Amino acid sequence: MKLNAISKSFLTTLRNALSDDIIRPADPRYLEEPRGRYVGQDGGMVALPRTVQDVARIVKLCAQAPVGIVPYGGGTGLVGGQVMPEGPMPLILSLERLNAVRDVDPLENVLVAEAGTILADIQAAAEAKDRMFALSLAAEGSCQIGGNLATNAGGVNVLRYGNTRDLCLGLEAVLPNGEIWNGLTRLRKDNTGYDLRNLLIGAEGTLGIITAAALKLAPRPASLGTALMVVPSPQAALDLLSLARTRVGDAISAFELMHRQGPEFVAETLPDIRQPFPEIPEWMVLIELGLNQDADAALSDLFELGMEQGLVEDGLVAQNTGQRTEFWSLREHIPVANKRIGSVCSHDISVPLGAVPDFIARGGEKIAELGDLRVNCFGHLGDGNLHYNVFPARGRDRSDYDPLRDDVKRVVHDLVQEYNGSFSAEHGVGRMKVPDLEKYGDPVKLAAMRAIKSALDPVGIMNPGAVLRA
């Protein structure tokens, strides 16, 4: 069946079925995304439901019409999953009014939040009860947990605490037929049928709309330690990670690799951000440990051992919260600096951990063959997840490289494929990477995905064109 564009009579039907002010013309912010690569259609409409019942009513009516729905969270996604630039005009459905933290239970280590709750608010609600919600990423001040779940967001603490799916115990969601699935369990063990929770997590709104979640909290480590260590190479960084694991087990919450290019972009575009080392080192890692005793001592110990083994050349252990914030600020401002410089092409890739040094070396060679380009390679080394972003030579503009863009992307993703890696480690597929999924994805898995999509959303109303071609 073909989808219809929103019509005046459909808007009337929606308005009659819902309380006032739920259906409105979409502000421009609903039609944009952070990198400006996708723009929503003029004249778009947004639904702002207040309850899961509102959501169910809207989905039911859209399924009957049938009219497409684009679920909308914080709007911080980087692959165009939240913006539908073409096709029959869809209804944008924003979860922003479902933003209550329904419960925080420190004994059970569970927090229940509605989909529109901003991630930082969830972190704060957990902290208020002396617990931690471990998901942490640059957009945490504006992204919403529903979007984090829909895209299975990663971030800086995955090494210890896992991806968003690992932090979720249960979901409440509206399926494409408009029925409400009450799966808001807070159980640690529940083997009663297919794992619908994990199927919706990471489906990017194409199989249903998540409206609330039961989330796992963790004890807050008594002692948090943060250090920057200068390493001679990515291989040394990897060996340092292995050494750290031997010394402190799974207490390492973050292990972030930064190539010189990142801090250089920050220095160039954001001169107010303090650079911790007088000269920017070629490679450094940002390490964070959470222990029950003296994490700083453990970091100093690691530093000494790393020096002895030739894995570390210099280092700084944060002496107070201010310094800790400063180290993180450098890391978290790299994406901002990247945006100001203007990339030719960005890649959110992962490879098996052991392949990271090889990948970086060979990637650099292949990019150099294509032209005069700069590579900013940084990211979550502990997860094998690199943001491998390619930039114009100094003084040149990204538009100069338009004819090269597809080649750059192909070269990077082909290399990733060679290592059985992923062309989308943590950002998802959205609309941007649909062709990559078709090219690099396992065909048997793709066929299964299409079968599942047809089974749950036969008319294809849910986020049309995201993940799978509409």
Segment contacting its own copies by CB under 8 A, of 43-51, 61-69, 85-93, 180-188: 180-188
Number of residues that bind its own copies (CB under 8 A): 88
Q: Does 310 bind its own copies (CB under 8 A)?
A: no
**How far is Cα of residue 335 from the mean position of the Cα atoms in its chain?**
13
CB-wise, 256 or 383, nearer to its own copies?
383
Contact set for its own copies, span 128-147 (CB under 8 A): none
Contact set for its own copies, span 216-255 (CB under 8 A): 218-219, 221, 238, 242, 245-250
Q: Are 464 and 71 in contact (CB under 8 A)?
A: no
In the block, tokens 């919600």 appear at 133
Segment contacting its own copies by CB under 8 A, of 62-70, 137-145, 316-324, 350-358: 350-358
Kindly tell me which residue out of 350, 376, 389, 463 binds its own copies, with binding defined by CB under 8 A: 350
CA torsion sign for 392, 397, 400, 404 is: positive
Query: What CA–CA distances, in Å, run from 469 to 40, 113, 432, 455?
Result: 17, 31, 11, 16
Q: Does 446 bind its own copies (CB under 8 A)?
A: yes
Structure tokens at 328: 């993180």
DSSP state of 210: E
As a dihedral over the C-alpha atoms of residue 328, residue 330, residue 335, residue 336, rounded to 10 degrees, the angle is 120
Contact set for its own copies, span 104-123 (CB under 8 A): 105, 107-108, 110
Q: Does 345 bind its own copies (CB under 8 A)?
A: no
Q: Does 385 bind its own copies (CB under 8 A)?
A: yes
Q: Does 183 bind its own copies (CB under 8 A)?
A: yes
CB-wise, 22 or 159, nearer to its own copies?
159
Measured in degrees and rounded to the nearest 5, phi and psi for residue 228 equal: -110, 130
Q: Does 179 bind its own copies (CB under 8 A)?
A: yes
Number of residues written out for the chain: 470
Kindly tell me which residue out of 4, 85, 142, 181 binds its own copies, with binding defined by CB under 8 A: 181
CB-wise, 400 or 438, nearer to its own copies?
438
Residue type, 59: V
Q: Are strands 252-259 and 283-291 parallel, antiparallel or unpaired?
A: antiparallel
Measured in degrees and rounded to the nearest 5, phi and psi for residue 213 equal: -145, 145
Contact set for its own copies, span 152-171 (CB under 8 A): 152, 154, 158-159, 162-163, 165-166
